[in-house]
Structure 1
Amino acid sequence: MRDGITLAGDLYLPGAPDHADRSPGDTILIRLPYDKSGSYCFIPLIAEYFTNRGYRVFAQDVRGKFRSGGDALLFVNEVEDGYDTIEWITQQEWSNGRVAMWGDSYYGYTQWAAAASGHPALKAIAPRVTGTGLGEPVRRAPAERTRAVEWTVTYMYPLTQFFDRDMLLWEPDWERRDFAAQAEEFIQQVGARGLSYDQWYPHPVLLPRFPSGDPFAGRSVPALHTVGWWDNCAPLAWADVERIRNHPNWDAHHHLRIEALDHEGYYLLDDDADRVGERSDEQLRANLPRMLDPALDFFEVFVRGNGAAADVPAVCWNLAGTDEMRRDATWPPIGAHPIVRFATGDGALSAERPVAASAPQWTHDPADLVPSSAPDAFAFLLTLPDEAPLGERADVLRFDSAPAVGDVDLAGPVSARMTVASDGPVMDCFVRLLDVSPDGTALRIARGQIQLHDATKAATVDIDMGHIGYRLASGHRLRVHVYSSDYPEYLPQTGTGADPWTWGSTAPNRQTLTLGGPDAFRLTLTVLDGELP
């Protein structure tokens, strides 16, 4: 690198190991922090698939991780290190000067970073389940009453994945909830401090990750941008979609692919035999075509110049609940239209706004939190949890529509507007949209959450619940859950205003939601085909 640090990479060339093709060719670069040679990301299998299509593959441990030198510092070096790595590739005998990038999550982020560097040899990227805002702690401006709710993984990640060169396996005792104290116990046990954690807690120093300040301010790169309907990081991806729309040079080369998958690559319609935590090499190989072929088809056009860019769809998306992939010129698709449903005092979702206002209450008890439905939020579709039992809790409000008469296709944004208040200083509000089958089981299909400060004064909040592409089958109904904790996926409120990561004194809070009247709870959905009851 430009500062003298050496980063380690594995080079995969087409051909048999003893007859490798070292002639100049197109290169796919993968820059990741999860061990370029390890089993978790199975890069050797991915590289084999790419080299079978004639690509050279260079897989690199990012700075400070595994075999690479430098400090393990989250995010901030990836723009310059991406540029320098691409520059190094172009100088090798096996490179023809054309580079593409591929990868998920953090190694999707490294693609956005390399693209922001402006290196002219980078011809196309294929970031999946990621976002340019990946990972940093949530911040709230002093004048703002609302902010996002903090994930527990925000502080867990620099303690485990980016503490030092290795990947450290540790998690708190979730019953104790004094997370900061447990982190210090862990640091003492390791015998060293982690640079990334100390820069984020307790007094965050958020170093700029993009030197230009805007990852989409400069030269654009054709991007195949994959979002998962059940990816817990999807809000970050959708935020980037909106930012790209405001940059015409990027928007012209932005191709959106939306699939029914989660962050760890499990799909809604997977066979039960493939819903296993440790997938065999045979299972991994069987999954490679659907995982890699879209990128290869994209690179064929934008890296190799075979085919017309105009023939690549702007949007390719899966209507979840079916195995159908659709192509459209825009997202949401042409013809999709918003509809509104109101929550009523008798627990219904209705097309009619209730005239009379009511205010149901529930208790947020820090000693009895609403549990997260999936054991691993990153692998939601591994367990496909039934969320119907959550609706039986006294601290969860539930609202149901009538059953659908005929299939209804939902395609586009989902949001909720609600007026809430609490007798405590800070209120977290979670809204979940479910598909309830005739047998009573419920699958979560959209979600959103927001944190309200000065919550003793009622406020109307808008909750972005992301986007949805989903077929609500005939006879199924929609259900909305509203509650105040989702633990341990999100840091829970103490009820006293104390920092949730530090914990401290706690108190139950009474939360209030307004139904009916001008401040009625309203859910806005986007319907493409069919009619909701």
Structure 2
Amino acid sequence: MKRNVLLCFLCLLSWIAVAQNAIPDTSWIKANYTKTEQYITMRDGVKLFTAIYTPKDDSQTYPIIMQRTPYSVRPYGEENYRRTLGPNVLLMREKYIFVYQDARGRYKSEGNFREMTPAIANKKSNKDVDESSDTYDTVEWLLKNTRNNGKVGQWGISFPGYYSSAGLPDAHPAMAAVSPQAPMSDEFIGDDCYHNGAFFLMDNFGFYSGFDGPKSQDGTSYQGHFNAEYDDAYKYFLELGPLKKTNAAPYFADPNCIWRQTTAHPVYDEFWQSRNIKKHLKNIKPAVLVVGGWFDAEDLYGALKTYAAIEKQTPGNNNRLVMGPWTHGGWAAPAWKGFAQYQFGEDVNKYYQEEIETKFFNYYLKGKGTFDQPEVTVFETGSNQWKHYDVWPPVNSRPETYYLGPNGKITVARLTSDVGSTSYESDPANPVPYTSTTSGHRNNEYMAEDQRFASKRPDVLSFQTDSLTEDLTLTGEIVAELDGIYDRLRCGFHRESDRRVACRVNNACR
């Protein structure tokens, strides 16, 4: 009898262990959290729809972690629960008050939506509202109406990452920890819409066709402007013709849609400059954790430049940067062991979620444990190592200039003569593709793809260095400057005696 009881007890312990290690789902959240829905009134009277998940254990108070989003807080209805809460499963188990809010003008929230709402530095009345003021007003309401410990955090990826950045200027005193992840920062210079001024055609066309069409009467969904399906995006857009054809039926016929706004501003004018949140990242008080991915085709620029803007404009800040071998938002996946043809030798998400993200929020919002993470943490592909630095780029890096020379050569020595030229003919009817893959969607692996396939074309110039005599590690931006006299590539790199990875500047320039 004793043996049977012991066996049953051990089986029970095993079942409990399995249950505790299982990935939580809707039923787990229902058992541990209570969901309420609320319209929170902003200073100008506009009401924003907010879903609040509060731990059922009322023996203590909890900090708040919020996300503001244009992508819906669904599922709607207090009886309908999300499958996950917060940035990762570990934090969900930690128990926080998780808050999700439909951004102004989106889904069930009132007001008018604006693509990356221009920030107002000097607000003169309650009618001067932006994402900073909406964040502040939301925090103020939550502090008064939830069972909280007086600490608030915010996070988001991509567009919600922008809302996290936009909540930093003039942040509420209770806002203690903010993590902008792959945040949109300047949609013309480097994020999403235009990449260094080049229109991100396929992504913008697909995204905006369904993002801001007519809203349903109950505010729970949007009707897309149109539905375009194709297996060969290169062929589809080539046959579509001039971009202006998309500004009429059956495409973006609504003159007020965001697509029409973005295509109407093909230069870096006031429309884009006013939406640059980076210049407002001054005097930032909360602890900040900026996260980005080396293989992010959408907002790699945003992560690096958001961190740099805070560093430059907020002396003495508490600001950290994490860059890993991720695509857009890949760090939120359950696991991440490889991408494209690369294998990283470990689950990089396990390290990030356990050692960085969870500890960041636990320390600054709960006062739990420690958070002694270095200023900059980057995963170095090739060596498959997490590297830590006090600044970015590292102090032991230096710029190196490569000059384009005759016979397709790249040299580190400045040419002694200005004489010489190389030319090609470009045919708009036969543009250079960005990838060797034929697809109806973006080839997400193109950020890691060997681009030398394009060098076989007669309308592409290729330049290559001689064989390198020692290995190099790239640590900074690659900038191409075409000044008509000396065309050059600038690379940041550094040498390390304990480990070196080859860098070859041999991709086609186009």
What is the Cα deviation at residue 161 of structure 1? Answer: 2.1
Paired residue secondary structure (1:482): coil
Kindly name which structure, 1 or 2, has the bigger radius of gyration based on alpha carbons: 2
Q: Which residue number corresponds to residue 83 of structure 2?
A: 44
- The alignment partner of 2:458 has SS state of coil
1:270 matches 2:338: yes
What residue number does 1:151 align with? 200
Aligned partner of 2:412 in structure 1 is 351
Does the Cα contact within 8 Å between 2:252 and 2:259 map onto a contact in 1? no
CA distance in 2 between counterparts of 1:78 and 1:221 reads 16
The equivalent residue for 1:492 is none
Measure how far apart 1:31 and its partner are. Answer: 1.2
Aligned-partner Cα distance in 1 for 2:190–2:403: 33
Residue identity matched to 1:366: P
TM-score, normalised to structure 1, is: 0.66
Q: Say yes or no: does 1:385 pair with 2:449.
A: yes
Gaps of at least 5 residues in structure 2 are 1-40, 76-80, 118-129, 216-220
Task: Kindly state the Cα deviation for residue 125 of structure 1 after the two structures are TM-superposed.
Answer: 0.8
Cα distance in 2, alignment partners of residues 295 and 219 from structure 1: 20
Count how many residue pairs are aligned between Structure 1 and Structure 2.
415
Question: Could you tell me how far 1:265 is from its partner in structure 2?
Answer: 2.0
Question: What SS is found at the alignment partner of 1:339?
Answer: strand
Letter matched to residue 155 of structure 2:
W
What is the CA deviation profile of residues 138-172 of structure 1, one whole-angstrom value per residue up to 9, with x for unaligned ones?
Answer: 9xxxxxxxx73333245765443234544637459
Q: Return 5+ residue gaps in structure 1 as ranges.
A: 139-146, 276-285, 421-458, 484-533
Residues 304-349 of structure 1 deviation map (CA, whole Å, 9 limit, x = unaligned): 234566x331111111223211111111223222223222212222
Residues 305 and 186 of structure 1, relative CA distance in 2, 3 Å threshold: farther
State how far apart, in whole Å, the 2-side matches of 1:416 and 1:201 are: 25
- The 3-state SS of whatever aligns with 1:26 is strand
Match of 1:361 in 2: 423
Distance 1:325 1:207, change over 3 A: closer
Q: One-letter code of the match for 1:254? A: N
Deviation at 1:111, TM superposition (A): 0.5
Offset, 1:129: 1.2
What residue number does 1:69 align with? Answer: 110
Please state if 1:259 is matched with 2:324.
Answer: yes
Q: Which residue of 2 aligns with 1:497?
A: none
Give the Cα separation in 1 of the matches to 2:469 and 2:370.
Answer: 43
Q: 2:464 aligns with which of 400, 404, 408?
A: 400
State the alpha-carbon separation in 1 of the partners of residues 505 and 341 from structure 2: 29
Map of 1:280 onto structure 2: none
Alignment check: 8 A CA contact 2:403 2:488 kept: no
Match of 1:115 among 153, 158, 168: 168
Secondary structure of the structure 2 residue equivalent to 1:389: helix
The aligned residue for residue 51 of structure 2 is 10
CA contact (8 A) 2:473 2:493 kept: no
User: Pairwise CA RMSD of aligned residues?
Assistant: 4.1
1:243 matched to 2:309: yes
Mapping 1:94-493, distance limit 5 Å: 94-134=147-187, 148-152=197-201, 153=203, 157-165=207-215, 166=221, 168=224, 170=227, 173-175=236-238, 176-186=240-250, 194-200=256-262, 202=264, 206=271, 214-232=279-297, 233-249=299-315, 252-265=317-330, 270=338, 289=350, 292-293=353-354, 294-306=356-368, 311-356=372-417, 357-373=419-435, 380-381=444-445, 384-404=448-468, 407-420=471-484, 473=501, 477-483=504-510
- The answer as to 2:66 corresponding to 1:29 is yes
Offset at residue 12 of structure 1 (A):
2.8
Shift of 1:199: 4.4
Q: 1:215 to 1:162 in 2, by over 3 A?
A: farther
Contact 2:295/2:448, CA 8 A, preserved across alignment: no
Match of 1:427 in 2: none
Aligned partner of 1:27: which letter? I
TM-score by length of 2: 0.69
Distance change in 2, residues 1:387/1:469 (3 Å): farther
1:227 is paired with a residue whose SS is strand
Could you tell me how far apart the structure 1 residues matched to 2:209 and 2:495 are? 35
Q: CA contact under 8 A between 2:463 and 2:508: conserved in structure 1?
A: yes
Amino acid at match of 1:34: Y
Separation in structure 2 between the aligned mates of residue 369 and residue 28 of structure 1, nearest angstrom: 47
**C-alpha displacement at 1:466, in angstroms?**
9.2
Q: Which has the higher helix share?
A: 2
Percent identity, aligned pairs only?
20
Superposed counterparts of 1:78-93, under 5 Å: 78-93=131-146
Alpha-carbon separation, structure 2, partners of 1:59 and 1:404: 52
Native 8 Å contact 1:417 1:461 kept in 2: yes
Partner of 1:496: none
Find the aligned partners of 1:342 and 1:199 in 2 and give their Cα distance: 39
Mapped to 1, the partners of 2:381 and 2:179 lie a distance apart of 22
- 1:58 Cα deviation (Å)? 1.0
